[in-house]
Structure 1
Amino acid sequence: MAKEKRIAIKEAEITNNCPECFNQDLKLSFYQKHTYNPFFHRTTNEVIHEIKCRKCYSVIYPVNWTEDIERVFDYYNKMVTPDRPSVKFTTLFFILMILIIGAVVAVVYMYMEGII
């Protein structure tokens, strides 16, 4: 079963007004999705953003953004540099590959020798 994690790649405190409580303490976070499996770890190119108020703890969705929040978001969105999409294989993957290749080689050897 694959597990998905969101790893924070950039966080910034912005001083725009919250549309809910009109406080000036917002947090803008950018996350990158990582998938973990027993055989490999995959870094995807999917970047997720979230703006939260640090006083009322509400998530501010793009529908409620003001022009100021949009400008600040665009600025920080240009600054975000996510990790390259990649796949890293685990030790279990390499052990299974060696065992499968060894089994195929053994079967071919036995067939060539006439044992099978």
Structure 2
Amino acid sequence: MYYHITTYYDLVGTKKIPCKCPNCGNRDSLELEFFQVRTQSGFLETTTKGVTGILYCTHTKTEIPPVIWTDEIENYFNVEKKKLKLKPTKIRFKVENKKWFYTIFGILTLFILGGIAYAKYNMHQTEVLNERLENITPGDKVEVLYTLMENHSVKQSGTTWFLVKKVDGNVAWLQRNKDYVEDHNFNFDKQDTDFNGETIEVNLKQLNKRGVFGLDYTNQKFSGFITDIE
């Protein structure tokens, strides 16, 4: 989307100067008008520090272009420009667009607050999951994003659940659910009788850190990441 930029010149002062007119030679007819630059584009209106001027001859009733200003006129212009009381420089939203601005601002605020709330929720859920894994016991069920490797290549990857069958020392025994799928949202049956797949031994310390690595997988190397616990 493109917006046309419109420039406005707001009169901020006038000053008669006793300089010789470059056109008619009169010394009592020159008047400087000072203008502060203001721009509008899209939603914004900006008052700048920029000042420009017009030199007008009241005798001939003509404007004197800057290209024929004398050094004396230039000096008066620069001196008087410093004395002006300019409007404060600012950026504001155009009145007719304030409704749209506040609507967009409100939507963005809701998105940001929603993102913060979602991040805090995920952080809390992660803390709860980690705490439960540190105290894992037989009968718990864990959801695992897993990868099976064979001959240095991926044989299978997806999501499944494991039932904790036994915990002893630094080792836990997990038995896989009958289902394993690529869709994370698959509705698993998680009755104890549904866990009739292979049983693997995993390092308990790694499991507490959400990692699942088979210790005695001689035919297939197993690795996984725990995403949920029940």
Instruction: Using structure 2 for the length normalisation, give the TM-score.
Output: 0.40
Distance in 1 separating the partners of 2:68 and 2:88: 30
Larger Cα-atom Rg: 2
Q: Deviation at 1:59?
A: 1.7
Aligned to 1:51: 55
RMSD: 2.9
Could you report, residue by residue, the CA deviation over 1:12-65 in whole angstroms, capped at 9, with x for unpaired residues? 233432111123311201111111234121111111122122324132426531
What secondary structure does 2:62 align onto?
Answer: coil
Aligned to 2:34: 30
Gaps of 5+ in 2: 122-230
**Could you say if the C-alpha distance between residues 66 and 42 of structure 1 is closer, same or farther in structure 2, counting changes exceeding 3 Å?**
closer
Aligned to 1:61: 66
Letter in 2 for 1:97: F
Aligned to 1:96: 104
Given candidates 10, 14, 34, the residue that maps to 1:11 is: 14
Moved more, 54-63 or 89-98: 54-63
Alignment check: 8 A CA contact 1:21 1:56 kept: no
Percent identity over the alignment is 21
**Could you say if the C-alpha distance between residues 71 and 2 of structure 1 is closer, same or farther in structure 2, counting changes exceeding 3 Å?**
closer
Letter in 1 for 2:47: T
Instruction: Using structure 1 for the length normalisation, give the TM-score.
Output: 0.70
Letter in 2 for 1:52: Y
**Could you say if the C-alpha distance between residues 96 and 82 of structure 1 is closer, same or farther in structure 2, counting changes exceeding 3 Å?**
same
What secondary structure does 2:105 align onto?
Answer: helix
What secondary structure does 1:58 align onto?
Answer: strand
Alignment check: 8 A CA contact 2:54 2:63 kept: no
Aligned to 1:2: 5
Moved more, 29-38 or 88-97: 88-97
Q: How many residues align?
A: 109
Distance in 2 separating the partners of 1:64 and 1:42: 30
Letter in 2 for 1:14: I
Given candidates 66, 76, 82, the residue that maps to 2:80 is: 76
